[in-house]
Amino acid sequence: MKPQPIALKVLNVVSVLLFLAALSMVFLYAPLEATMNYVQKIFYFHIANAWVGMLGFIAAAVAGVVYLVRHDQKWDIVELAAVEISLVFFLIAILAGSIWARPTWGAYWTWEPRLTTAAILEMVYIAYLLLRQGIDDPDRRARFSAVYTLVGAISVPITFLSIRLFRTIHPVVIGTNSAASQGGFDMTSKMLATMFFALFTFSIIFANLFWHRIRLGQLAQQVEQLKLEEIQ
Amino acid sequence: MDRPQTTKPRPSPVARRPSSGFLNAIGAIVWKDLAAELRSRELLSAMLVFALLVILIFNFALELDPLTRRVATPGILWATFAFAGTLGLNRSMAVEKDRGCLDGLLLAPVDRSAIYFGKTISNLAFMLIVEVVVLPVYSVLYNTNLFNPGLIVVILLGSVGYVAVGTLLSSLAVQTRTRDVLLPILLFPVVIPILIAAVKASSGFLQGLALTEVMPYINLLIVYDVIFTAVAYMVFDYVVEE
Amino acid sequence: MIAVKKLVKRFGLKTVLRGLDFEVQAGEFVALLGPNGAGKTTFLRILASLSRPTLGEVRLAGHRLPAQASSARRNLGVVLHLPLLYGDLTAEENLRFYGRMYAVLNLSQRIDEVLDLVGLTSRRRDLVRTFSRGMQQRLAIGRAILHDPDVLLFDEPHTGLDQDACDMLDHLLRQVAGQGRTVVMTSHDLARVEHLASRFDVLSRGVISASASRNGLGSSNLLDFYRQALAG
């Protein structure tokens, strides 16, 4: 088992430190928002998590295409890692959003475009994982996963646009069209700084987790290899 | 190539222009599916019965006074088509997989995409047949006039998109362990733009809205159909080749 | 007619064929023998262009696989375990379908010829669903020769057939092979192939471990040759 490279160990430490720094920025540095008070602070994490989710989504789509072109198994590992991370982070983002929504709009959920699309994306990811579970042959599993990733990657943005279209012609029933319900509010420069720092922190955390997950995938592959050599 | 002396009558050569072979193969697959289905009628009867049952269930699940009915009709119709559609898609591919016939198709000296187009067209045919039966039945049961040319167009466009993605994904699903169960799980999240556009466009036509209001959704359907037919065509090889 | 050099086939991390060499001249009838799981079916599927080689070179009827697979298929007839026939169509309709897929000219006449050859003219309008396994195999052979290919591949065609059906099948195989075609047939049934094939190859541990022509066997018994090939 290859030990963690120095760079990864450094990254581990950096991620933790940055996260603590971000936490302190959120609670100590950023001012309290006028109407929403402490509840608004979850916003920073909501955005950062959704951002990481997006990174994962794009990484998965790219990895899928590269796999189909190159047939190199390592891109399959990358794709799976990206999907798993994206799944978890979008889930956290949705939950954070719900926690924010309750006191703000009186409901845990609204059917607004971004939220609905995120939910649909989660379904696509779960379908992806179920698909992988149903295939034993690694080559076929990788090929089929890449195909489905491609289909999902194209379909989800179209879904987002469709729901937006749906909503502009028929306005949102729950919540008003004010800036507050669209998730916007006036941000002071301190808030902006905090938000960008949170985004940066979570990007680093994404890279860290991504690296770890890919290593895990490679280790799993090595185990499979050893098992087969035992049999043969 | 040298052959030992034989008394075999040499049949006519097989050669034909590649392009006509492609269209011919698609035609052969469509004919084969329709002929087989005409004889057994298993697929169509399953889809039809299921569709009618779904409509029946909706009747009890949603208390539909005449006003609500008007609003809910497109949704009920498309939900019905989506569910019944998966039955057809599953069955159509299962026939190929079970007797190893998929190998038979792969052995033919034609481009793989001919298989995709052939199966997609026959799947579309089955779906349209079901829709053609469901519409009048629904009209009678709910005293709603569904005979609307705009609606027909929407149903056509929506079915094409659904079947284009569905055939690709059912080719995936049929080669896994979880098979039948997996297809709806794979298909529905990805087919949502069609459902949105089809329901809104159907609703628009049934309520007699101006064409300008409905066009965005029609455009969405067309764009979706084109994109996904192209994607499926490009990617189908990876799904069937080993 | 068939030339295979250093063929390697891996399924994920499992290597089934390890640098296999194999050559067949036009008109030869080769029986491919070997224990279960040796890779006979895998090898046959690669020759049939249904599976891609991981490494190595495969030439069939002058075409490279998989690059020129489509052209190779024109000249290839394959009979597998499963009959590859549509149960809800009649014998004639099945042949008509495959005839169109292979763009066979003078199709009706050719169908008559083939049905006559396999002895199923009287059952041409019956659904294949109603056929016994033996009849399905005969029709499958008919399908395989419909487009008059030079190369025929059979994967254990005697499986599931009773004595009479086997005898009928052998008679048909002799006729079909006797028309100057090149045949490769995998089999478990040494007694049967002894009288059919002109050459016997043994596939063991991922390579052809032994090969002998009918004359080359001489006085020794096919069974002894086979056992020796596996032991060595």
Q: Tell me the three-class secondary structure of A97-108, residue by residue.
A: HHHHHHHHHCCC
Domain C1-75+149-163+173-232 has CATH 3.40.50.300: yes
Higher per-residue pLDDT: A27 or B201: B201
Q: Residues 46-105, chain A: which have Cβ within 8 Å of C?
A: none
Segment of A102-106, B125-129, C157-161 carrying the highest mean pLDDT? B125-129
| The pLDDT of residue A36 | 67
- The answer to whether residues A100 and A46 touch, using CB atoms and an 8 Å cutoff, is yes
Residue C228 has pLDDT above 80, yes or no: no
Residue B91 lies in a domain: yes
Q: Report pLDDT for C218.
A: 64
Q: What is the mean pLDDT of residues B216-234?
A: 94
The answer to whether residue B13 sits within a structural domain is: no
pLDDT of residue A170: 54
Give the residue-averaged pLDDT of B17-45: 85
Total number of residues shown for chain A: 232
pLDDT of residue A189: 78
pLDDT of residue A173: 41
Residue B47 has pLDDT above 80, yes or no: yes
pLDDT given for residue A1 in this prediction: 64
Asked if C11's CB is within 8 angstroms of A224's CB, the reply is no
Give how many domains chain B has, as a whole number: 1
Boundaries of domain holding B66: 24-240
Residue B8 scores a pLDDT above 60? no
Chains in contact with B, where contact means 3 or more Cβ–Cβ distances below 8 Å, are A, C
Report whether C166 contacts C195 (CB < 8 A): no
Q: Which range scores top for mean pLDDT: B97-101, B199-203, C174-178?
A: B199-203
3-state secondary structure of C84: coil
The answer to whether B178 faces chain A, any CB pair under 8 Å, is: yes
pLDDT tens digits, residue range C53-88? 888 889 988 888 888 888 889 889 999 888 889 988
pLDDT of residue B86: 92
What pLDDT shows up at residue A126? 96
Closest chain B C-alpha to C232 CA, distance in angstroms: 32
| B19 found inside a domain | no
The domain ranges of chain C are 1-75+149-163+173-232, 85-148
Contact B104 C76 (CB under 8 A): no
Tens of pLDDT, residue by residue over C110-153, are: 999 999 888 888 988 999 989 988 889 999 999 998 998 989 99
Look up residue C139 and give its two tokens.
Answer: 């029709």
Res A176: pLDDT: 41
Q: How far does the CA of residue C65 sit from the closest CA of chain A (Å)?
A: 18
Q: In the structure encoding, which two tokens stand for residue A77, read together?
A: 């590992």
Mean pLDDT of B186-201: 94
CB contact under 8 A, A228 and C13: yes
Q: Which of B101, B107, B241 sits opposite C86 (nearest CB)?
A: B101
C167 pLDDT higher than 90: no
Q: What is the pLDDT of residues A77-101, one digit of tens each?
A: 999 999 999 999 999 999 888 888 7
What does DSSP assign to residue A26? I
The answer to whether residue A43 scores a pLDDT higher than 90 is no
Chain C residue with minimal CA distance to B2? C26
Range of weakest confidence among A82-86, A104-108, A153-157, A173-177: A173-177
Average pLDDT on B61-73 reads 78
Give percent above pLDDT 70 in chain B.
91
Measuring CA to CA, how many Å separate B167 from each of B154, B179, B239, C113? Answer: 20, 13, 11, 36
Top CATH class, A6-231 = mainly alpha
DSSP, collapsed to helix, strand or coil, labels residue C89 as coil
What is the reported pLDDT for A177? 42
pLDDT confidence band for B100 (50 / 70 / 90): confident
For residue C205, give the chain A residue with the closest CA.
A232
Cβ–Cβ gap B235/A147 under 8 Å: yes
pLDDT of residue A114: 85
Coarse DSSP helix, strand, coil percentages of chain C, rounded to the nearest 5 percent: 40, 30, 35
Mutate to test the interface with A, among C8, C13, C204 (most CBs of A within 10 A): C13
CB C128 within 8 A of CB C85: yes
Chain A contact present for B207, CB below 8 A: no
pLDDT of residue A46: 86
pLDDT at B9 over 50: no
For residue B31, give the H/E element and its range: helix B18-40
How close does chain C come to B29, measured CA to CA in Å?
Answer: 8
Please list every residue in chain B whose beta carbon sits closer than 8 Å to the beta carbon of residue C148.
10-11, 13-14
Residue B44 reports pLDDT greater than 80 = yes
Lowest mean per-residue pLDDT among A116-125, B55-64, C213-222: C213-222
pLDDT for residue B145: 82
pLDDT surpassing 50 at residue A175? no
Whether ipTM tops 0.90, in short, is no
What is residue C37's predicted lDDT score, i.e. its pLDDT?
A: 78
C-beta of residue A64 within 8 angstroms of C-beta of residue A153: yes
Residue B5 belongs to some domain of the structure: no
Pick the residue from chain A with its C-alpha nearest to C16.
Answer: A232
- Say what the pLDDT of residue B42 is: 83
- Chain B: give the shortest CA distance to residue C69, in Å: 8
pLDDT for residue A142: 93
Taking residues C21-25, report their average pLDDT: 88
Write out chain A residues lying below 8 Å of B165, CB-based: 151, 155
The CA-based diameter of chain B, rounded to the nearest angstrom, is 83
Question: Which amino acid would we find at residue B172?
Answer: L
| The predicted structure's pLDDT at residue B3 | 41
* CB neighbourhood size of A175 (10 A): 19
**Per-residue pLDDT, B13:** 52
In this prediction, residue B202 carries a pLDDT of 92
* A206 token code pair: 């994404």
Burial code of C178-210, b = ≥16 C-beta within 10 A, e = fewer? ebebbbbbbbeeeebbeebbebbbbbbebbbbb
Going by their DSSP bridges, the two strands C76-79 and C29-33 should be labelled as unpaired
Cα B155 to the chain's mean position, in Å? Answer: 12
What Cα–Cα distance (Å) separates residue B171 from each residue in A68, A166, C12, C71, C163? Answer: 17, 31, 21, 25, 38
